[in-house]
Chain A
Amino acid sequence: NAGVTQTPKFQVLKTGQSMTLQCAQDMNHEYMSWYRQDPGMGLRLIHYSVGAGITDQGEVPNGYNVSRSTTEDFPLRLLSAAPSQTSVYFCASSLHRDQPQHFGDGTRLSIL
């Protein structure tokens, strides 16, 4: 049982490039979410999904898009990378919004 799998683990981008962070879970969880974590800022919610085909904005959605075409996958797309998006990104899933979340290992993203 792999749990929540994030790829890539590390990435360096140039300003203006786009890329997709992948997230997959094999636990048949309804709820999935993306967070970014910056020093001293804790985890900030970017986007979340309560099921396939349903997504919504979190606390800091600007500059990011998501889609949820299947229960298993919840990719996060950076439209035009900016240095302010340098961060550690965590994907998480839970059976339901009222259940504890399981986190992936994180993606460490640097934008030059």
Chain B
Amino acid sequence: RKEVEQDPGPFNVPEGATVAFNCTYSNSASQSFFWYRQDCRKEPKLLMSVYSSGNEDGRFTAQLNRASQYISLLIRDSKLSDSATYLCDTGGGATNKLIFGTGTLLAVQP
């Protein structure tokens, strides 16, 4: 099993839709969790940190489920500009390796 797994998609959704992605991780000692956004041929950029209590920023909500070892990202009222690849990153704890998932491609359709 890969250390971090994501559904590669693509997720094709209409404008205004709500869409959710999950990211599962195998290292139960992981302490830090982040969602990044990557536009085509660009560098990844931090979207949100994921805390145990959840984290909301406008239309974006990130949550952590330690028992089932996954993090989630919810996007409400999708915009065309949300089209990108969303990457999750887990690490810390007992390991210094920061491992990414393969990314989930979101395509918001007009």
**Contact surface of A with B, Cβ cutoff 8 Å:** 31, 33, 35, 40-45, 48, 50, 56, 58-59, 88, 90, 94, 97-106
Contacts and interface: CB of A to CB of B under 8 A. Distances in A.
A103 B8 contact: no
B3 to A, nearest CB: 8
B interface residue count range (under 10 / 10 to 19 / 20 to 34 / 35 or more): 20 to 34
B43 A45 contact: no
Interface in B5-56: 6, 8, 31-32, 34, 41-46, 49
Contact of B92 (A44, A98, A103, A105): A98
A48 B96 contact: yes
Contacts of B89: 100-101
Say whether chain A's binding surface is mostly helix, strand, loop, or mixed: strand
A103 B101 contact: no
14 contacts: A40-B102, A42-B87, A42-B102, A42-B103, A48-B98, A50-B96, A58-B97, A94-B98, A97-B91, A97-B98, A98-B32, A99-B32, A100-B34, A101-B89
Given A43-B87, A90-B44, A103-B43, A97 B96 contact: yes
Given A40-B8, A97-B91, A35 B96 contact: no
A44 B89 CA distance: 11
A10 B96 CA distance: 29
A90 B43 contact: yes
Nearest to A104: B43
